[in-house]
Amino acid sequence: MGESMLLHRLPLRVVLLLCSSLALFSRVTADVVQTTKSGCANRCGDLTFSYPFGMNITDCYDSSGRVLYKNHPSIYLPIFPISPTKNKFIAVGCDTYAVFKGRNGSQYATGCLSVCESKLDVIDGSCSGIGCCEISVPRDANQYNVSVTSYYNHSNIWEFNPCGYAFVAEDGFFNFSTGDLSEPPFVEVPVVVDWSIPNQTCDDAKKNTTTYMCQENSKCTDAENGNGYQCNCLEGFQGNPYLQNGCQDIDECVTLQPCSGKCTNLLGTYYCSCPRGYRGDGRKDGKRCTPIIDRSTCVALGVSISFLLILLGGNWYYWGLRQRKIKRQRERFFLENGGRLMLQRLLSEHEGSVESVRIFTDEELKKATDHYHESRILGQGGQGTVYRGILPNNMVVAIKKAKILDRSQVEEFINELIILSQINHRNVVKLIGCCFETEFPLLVYEFVTNGTLSDHIHNCRHESTLSWRARLRIAGETAGALSYLHYDASTQILHRDIKSTNILLEENYTAKVADFGASRLVPLDRTQLTTLVQGTLGYLDPEYLQSSQLTEKSDVYSFGVVLAELLTGLRALSFERAESERNLSLYFASAIKGERLLEIIDPRVLNEGNHEEIKEVAMLASICLRVKGEDRPTMKEVAMELEGLMKVMGRHPWVNQSCDLEEVEQLLGERSSKCEGILKSNASGNDDSISNQVPFEIESGR
């Protein structure tokens, strides 16, 4: 037994038959109750009783707006008041004013108005006054009257809303939709009623022990709805409080398992305790059981800890002395054999370079970075950490602290520094100076204020802040910088780690290629280098990954991935995507082959860019991503193409003029009979080897 009954779901011990001519009603069938008082029947055959606890009050009209009939029933529930917390009074119609009147001995009235001009006004699922309205049912409502009237002329809405109706139903039962304006969507409605032992409060009932209904291990509470009282089992008990021995003790040790130690069930409660040798209250949500350590154990433990500290201290002291000795040796070797003297000698061989590169002291850079404080870190990568520094003249710079180098790498590092010091390109981050006084080589670059390209593509709630034109310009500027490194520098430079995080942006979104830590110089008599594979997964050239042969076409492949990022807004490698979509280069190639290119393009790019122009850039990215390096264009050709695209829609300089766009889009499909140049199809098997790449299992790294 409880405080409320759902008429079509819960069993009844007492059946009250009420007759009424309502349009709709709920039905109740008596079910078997296991807690019935001994000697009392709980079923009357298969008889079904009807109760007027759910109702539908209608007010219908003809096409001219005249009322055809009204239904104003009332209901009297002497024992079971409508639950005010579990029911709603609901009115439906586009010209419906429903009133709920009456409450035990008062003239209380409430209601709601529902108005709309057409079905287009109605919002499915919303019952806030447009076609549907609802209010709460008042307390003590066991005698009330419901009426429905028209507020305006009903003729202009008669065609789709011939009737207005109102009803009381269990909260959550009715979900309003447009179709409900034509006719009710149900024939029965459930209503929840509260019940209690009537006409007495707990204080009055307790005075007569003969008629008082609450049995042992129970408590009495006055009914909140209606007149009477109810019985409930005490905390720690469960069952039927109206039957003798109906409230039985709950074994919390079994049902709740509240103890971390030993649990003892008591009448109405439980007790937790710890085993011998442990202390605490033994509760899971309290002081758990912990071992009790005696005096002798504490002494032994103290001696052991002291001995361990002495041992660790001695080892630390020895390790510190050894590290300081190694550090002094490294500094001496660096200065004497490969440091400042070698740098100055090599710089002197290149006129003008000494003036363009400043040599900083260790103290200057420590002061500029607040001793390399964590708050000054701008980023970290495979070659070192980049800090934000402020020089005495208030110039803001980026200071790269490289990882430890072998002495054999010093000359190579200095030679690389010499080349970088001579680079003068507006789209390459400018090298300002260096420091060789420390174990860690330090490089000082100009500070670029607007973050990385990756930040603007990926880290803004997945909505890019870059327009299509800005993306195209950034791609062109990056390609121009790489073309300069490959063909116009005094010695060819292969960047080897082109990715969106290594492309910095100024306030006006001008691109700056950065992070030359993995770069390599290519002698004039060489076209490729055999190196240990290094780069970032997702951007690595598959041919370089398999052969360790680094060529200028490796940078072309990495740039193709960046171009795909600009087009799609997707990361080069992401485990948040499906397995077939994790690697962007494979996903991009698959989309083109399946003629699904526009499905993966960034929505902003689609909205702002010309589709033919987008396809041209996608074609260029596909060519850059070809598995064989010899099938890819050079960075100079890529830069020229992007420069042309930024001016006018043009065709690739290396494409046969008779090759139309539809054939170009078949990059990964069947072989085109007209495009026999660099755009020949990859379906012949050239791209199949990409499936033999090392699986990409991490997002980035070197």
Catalytic positions are: 497
DSSP structure string for 266-296 = ETTEEEEEPPTTEES--BTTS---EEPP-HH
Reported as type and span, the H/E element at residue 702 is none
Distance between CA atoms of residues 399 and 394, nearest Å? 14
Contacts of 577 (CB under 8 A, 6+ apart): 570, 587
**How many whole angstroms separate alpha carbon 415 and alpha carbon 423?**
13
Classify residue 196 as exposed, middle or buried by CB count within 10 Å of its CB (0-12, 13-18, 19+).
buried
Cβ neighbours of residue 450 closer than 8 Å, sequence gap 6 or more: 456, 504, 505, 506, 507, 509
Question: Is there a contact between 81 and 139 (Cβ–Cβ < 8 Å)?
Answer: yes
Q: How far apart are the C-alpha atoms of 421 and 93, rounded to whole Å?
A: 80
Cα separation of 282 and 271, whole Å?
9
**Tokens standing for 458?**
């990926």
Of 209, 70, 191, 201, the closest CA to residue 141 belongs to: 191
Tell me how far CA of residue 339 lies from CA of 358, 642, 668, in angstroms.
15, 42, 52
Q: Is 2 exposed, middle or buried (0-12, 13-18, 19+ CB in 10 A)?
A: exposed
Q: What letter would DSSP give residue 128?
A: B
Q: For strand 4-6 and strand 192-194, is the pairing parallel, antiparallel, or unpaired?
A: antiparallel
Q: 3-state secondary structure string, 415-469?
A: HHHHHHHHCCCCCECCEEEEECCCCCCEEEEECCCCCEHHHHHHCCCCCCCCCHH
Rounded to the nearest 5°, which phi and psi values hold at 587?
Answer: -65, -40
Q: How far is the CA of 211 from the CAs of 185, 203, 246, 390, 468, in angstroms?
A: 46, 13, 17, 89, 84
Distance, C-alpha 302 to centroid of its chain: 49
What whole-number distance in Å separates Cα of residue 282 and Cα of residue 260?
A: 5
Distances from the Cα of 188 to the Cαs of 7, 84, 107, 177, in angstroms? Answer: 11, 20, 29, 17
**Which residue in the block uniquely carries the two structure tokens 């052969």?**
547
In terms of Cβ atoms closer than 10 Å to its own Cβ (0-12, 13-18, 19+), residue 455 is middle
**Order of strands across the sheet that contains 87-92:** 67-70, 57-61, 163-170, 87-92, 132-136
Q: 167: which strand partners?
A: 90
Q: How is 563-576 classified by DSSP, letter by letter? A: HHHHHH---SB-TT
